[in-house]
Amino acid sequence: MKKLKLCVVTGSRAEYGLLYPLLCKIKWSSRTDLQLVVTGSHLATEFGATYRQIKQDGFRIAFKIPILGRWADACAVTKAMGRAVTGFGEAYKQLIPDWVIVLGDRYEILAAVSAALIAKIPVAHIAGGDITEGAFDDAIRHAITKMSHLHFVTNAHSARCVRQMGEDPKNILNVGHLGLDYIRRMKFHSRARLERLLGFKFHGKNILVTFHPVTLSETSSETQFAELLNALGRLDQNVGVIITKPNADPGGLKLIAMLTRFAKGRRNVKIFPSLGQELYLNVMRCVDAVVGNSSSGIYEAPSFKVPTVNIGDRQKGRLLAASVIGCPPEARAISTAIRRAFSKKCADVRNPYGGGNVAQKILAKIRSVNEPRKILKKRFAVLERV
């Protein structure tokens, strides 16, 4: 039997961590051939050169597409998108995949799907239909949905949103959040081992901080980040602060420079370009709160019964667990929210994004499509009543 060639695209550390369980399923299956295409911040040293971790995890990289320049402002990101479309066009020409599989809403993924549309390759999209009103990712995600053919959504509300965009209901599957598969199978480290791996001694209280650039807010990323750093600077020295660097959105490098200046001389603060999924989730499991505007505080933190301080509107519109505390990007409000998080009881919190086994559901559905090319011609499924 001919193996199904599945081209999976990853452009960032967070996305790769979520895709990891699916990559393993595809790699281990005797019926599929994994074609892993790596691009974006994975290939940039300032963002941790995380393609090395991918290789250490035992995956063969089929194609690398370097796209980032030195400065990640809006013009540079636009140029990066152009380079990405060209690169993906060449990748698909060489790899000739049966499917392109993508996750989420980043601009690299928009480029990958645009090239797949022209190359007449069907696309399976994971985590479409979500709403994030505070970032241009929202529009990118919906554009990807309209160029995709199978939709693996994380919750019932997102399924309705994809349906409202005219997608065929039989090609929309509510499978839950793929990242929860990793949590089900991950190796838990003891606190002492975790300290050795991090080179960081946990304090009386500890927080995990990830803050990415905001792209549609009236207040700039630098202003919001300065307010967060102000709040972190007010914390008692007995609070340990573990920070992962921002992603490669416009303004990301400026935030990294601000972060580096802030951490200098602060013994209770440790910065990491990237922790990798296993280490990141182990840290999340052991801290007293997750702070920032990353989707990990929405998707994964509730599974560990850890409260989240969600800053600003970057994640506005997502389905939230009871453990999530929202606050504006102002130092005083952030400080108050962190204090609330330290005393918040989350033992009974339920993660609204399912319980895992998502990778198996995704792979089974993709394999069930006998002739992938026949799914390319879509009809707009009009709703009888909205």
Q: Tell me whether residue 76 is exposed, middle or buried, using C-beta atoms within 10 angstroms of its C-beta: 0 to 12, 13 to 18, 19 or more.
A: middle
8 Å CB contact between 96 and 90: no
Can you give the three-state secondary structure of 153-165, one letter per residue? Answer: ECCHHHHHHHHHC
Task: Name the most confidently modeled range: 133-147, 246-260, 283-297.
Answer: 283-297
Residues 116 and 257 in one domain: no
Give the DSSP H/E element, type plus range, for residue 113. Answer: helix 107-119
Residues 84 and 9 in one domain: yes
**Beta partners for residue 206, in sequence order:** 240
**Is residue 382 in a domain?**
no
Residue 101 located in a structural domain: yes
pLDDT the model gives residue 71: 63
Sequence-ordered list of residues with C-beta below 8 angstroms from that of 255, at least 6 positions apart, any chain: 211, 213, 221, 222, 225, 245, 246
Tell me whether residue 14 is in a domain: yes
In three-state form (DSSP H/G/I as H, E/B as E, the rest C), the secondary structure along 24-82 is HHHHHCCCEEEEEEEEHHHHCHHHCCCHHHHHHCCCCEEEEECCCCCCCCHHHHHHHHH
Residue 125: closest CA among 228, 268, 243, 9: 9
Q: Are 5 and 39 in contact (CB under 8 A)?
A: no
- The phi and psi torsions of 356 (rounded to 5 degrees) equal 105, -165
User: Quick one: average pLDDT of 334-347?
Assistant: 97
Identify whether residues 118 and 194 lie together within a single domain: no
Does 103 share its domain with 200?
no
Q: Is 208 in the same domain as 305?
A: yes
Per-residue pLDDT at 277 = 87
User: How many CB atoms sit inside 10 A of residue 355's CB?
Assistant: 14
Same domain, 63 and 12: yes
Residue 182 falls within a domain, yes or no? no
What angle (nearest 5°) sits at the alpha carbon of residue 189, between those of residues 186 and 190?
150
Percent of the chain with pLDDT over 70: 98
**Predicted TM-score of the model (pTM):** 0.87
Q: Say if 351 falls within a structural domain.
A: no
Residue 381 maps to a domain:
no
Residue 380 lies in a domain: no
What is the distance between the alpha carbons of residues 154 and 214, in angstroms, rounded to a whole number?
A: 23
Residues in the chain: 386
Q: What are residue 9's DSSP bridge partners? A: 37
pLDDT in tens, 216-227: 777 899 999 999
Non-local CB neighbours of 371 within 8 Å, separated by 6+ positions: none
Cα gap 364→152, rounded to integer Å: 12
371 found inside a domain: yes
Distance CA 92, CA 218 (A): 39
CA separation for the pair 371, 98 (Å, rounded): 9
The strands making up 269-272's β-sheet, listed across from edge to edge, are: 269-272, 239-244, 205-210, 289-292, 308-311, 324-327
Evaluate whether 311 touches 224 at the Cβ level (below 8 Å): yes
Strands 32-39 and 150-153: unpaired
Over residues 118-132, the pLDDT tens digits come to 999 999 999 999 998
**What is the gyration radius of the CA atoms in the chain, in angstroms?**
20
Residues 324 and 218 both lie in one domain: yes
Question: Count of domains in the chain?
Answer: 2
Examine the domain organization and report whether 163 and 256 are in the same domain: no
Show the beta-strand stretches assigned E in the chain: 4-10, 32-39, 61-65, 99-103, 123-126, 150-153, 172-174, 205-210, 239-244, 269-272, 289-292, 308-311, 324-327
**Residues 155, 131 share a domain:** yes
Q: Which two tokens stand for residue 115?
A: 């090239």
pLDDT band of residue 70 (cuts 50, 70, 90) is: low
Q: Are residues 76 and 199 in the same domain?
A: no
pLDDT at 6 over 90: yes
Same domain (yes/no): 54, 158:
yes
| Judgement on whether residues 9 and 144 belong to the same structural domain of the protein | yes
Task: List the domain range (segments joined by +) for residue 80.
Answer: 4-176+356-375
Statement: residue 261 has pLDDT above 60? yes
Q: What CATH number corresponds to the domain at position 301?
A: 3.40.50.2000
Q: How far apart are CA 216 and CA 227, in angstroms?
A: 18
236 pLDDT above the threshold of 90? yes
Average pLDDT score over residue span 252-256: 87
Which residues, in sequence order, are CB contacts of 238 under 8 Å at separation 6+?
203, 204, 205, 268
